[in-house]
Amino acid sequence: MTSSTTPSVGPDASARKPHTFHNDRRTDPDFRGRDFSLAAQGRNAIRLAEHEMPVLMALRACYAVSAPLARARITGTVRTTVQRTVLIETLVQLGAQVRWTGSNVLPTQDPAAAAVAAGPGGDRLGVPVFTWKRQGPDEFWWCVDQALSWLDGDGPTILLDDAACCTVLLDQGVEMTGPAAMPHVTVDGEDEYFEMRRFAGNLVVEGCFVPPMHNWFLSAAHGEDAIEEFLAHAGRAMSGTQEELVGL
């Protein structure tokens, strides 16, 4: 998938409009995040996290030379935190090519994203990353599309897809991503689990994507119109779910 347009931002979004991080080894501006100047702060936090993640560090020591992931092209849509960047850089050291974005609009740690884009040497030769904290819905899906778009036109061979965002985008297309996406629900027992699955399925029919096993929320990143539209769709989906359950 390719996208030549930048993500749309609201009239009051200039403070969160992302910068572009240039990677000298590549032919396009292949990073997008909050503020590249946060990279040094993020790198310090990553070094501390590495001491708390001995298994990943042991994998680097054992397999960096043999590079068992040398042919892997990994697209990750997972929360971009300091700890997650240790995983990202481990995948790279094991030979993989990686493109990365967050799994929803809120939890990205901007210093971590900047640091992994800069790379361990701080020379901006790191992983193509497309995420920043408090994205709008259009920005979020633009970033997912960028993480799926490889320069040679091929796609990933492996998806690390925390909220199934990549899977839905690849399988059903942009039209199924909603007027608003609500990631993350915990359920109590099997009956409630199947009820949530029915509700999520009915939302898809309404044109809204909701991962059935995630906590759902509407964030400040969603515009008022998008929230109202989503709630209208959700109301119809809930009514349909209740009718189905009564009919069982």
pLDDT digits (tens, 9 = 90+) for 143-169: 888 888 887 767 888 888 887 777 777
Q: Tell whether 163 and 46 lie within a shared domain.
A: yes
Secondary structure element (H or E) that encloses residue 129, with its range: strand 129-130
Q: Amino acid identity, residue 180?
A: A
What is residue 70's predicted lDDT score, i.e. its pLDDT? 92
| Among candidate residues 41, 35, 220, the one with its CA nearest the CA of residue 129 | 35
Domain end point (choices 170, 185, 212): 170
Domain end point (choices 136, 170, 204): 170
Q: How confident is the model at residue 189 (pLDDT cuts 50, 70, 90)?
A: low
Q: Tell whether 114 and 54 lie within a shared domain.
A: yes
Bigger pLDDT: 49 or 120? 49
Bigger pLDDT: 151 or 176? 151
Bigger pLDDT: 244 or 77? 77
Separation of alpha carbons 88 and 46, rounded Å = 11
- The mean pLDDT of 88-101, rounded to a whole number, is 94
Q: Tell whether 51 and 88 lie within a shared domain.
A: yes
Separation of alpha carbons 172 and 176, rounded Å = 6
Q: Could you tell me if residue 94 is inside a domain?
A: yes
The top-scoring range by mean pLDDT among 21-35, 122-136, 203-217 is 122-136
Length of the chain: 248
Q: Could you tell me if residue 95 is inside a domain?
A: yes
Strand-pair partners of 40: none
To the nearest whole percent, how much of the chain has pLDDT over 90?
27
DSSP-derived secondary structure letter, 131: -
pLDDT digit string, tens, across residues 21-69: 333 333 444 677 777 889 999 999 999 999 999 999 999 999 999 999 9
Q: Could you tell me if residue 91 is inside a domain?
A: yes
What is residue 243's predicted lDDT score, i.e. its pLDDT? 58
The values of phi and psi at residue 223, to 5°, are -70, 160
pLDDT at 14 over 60: no
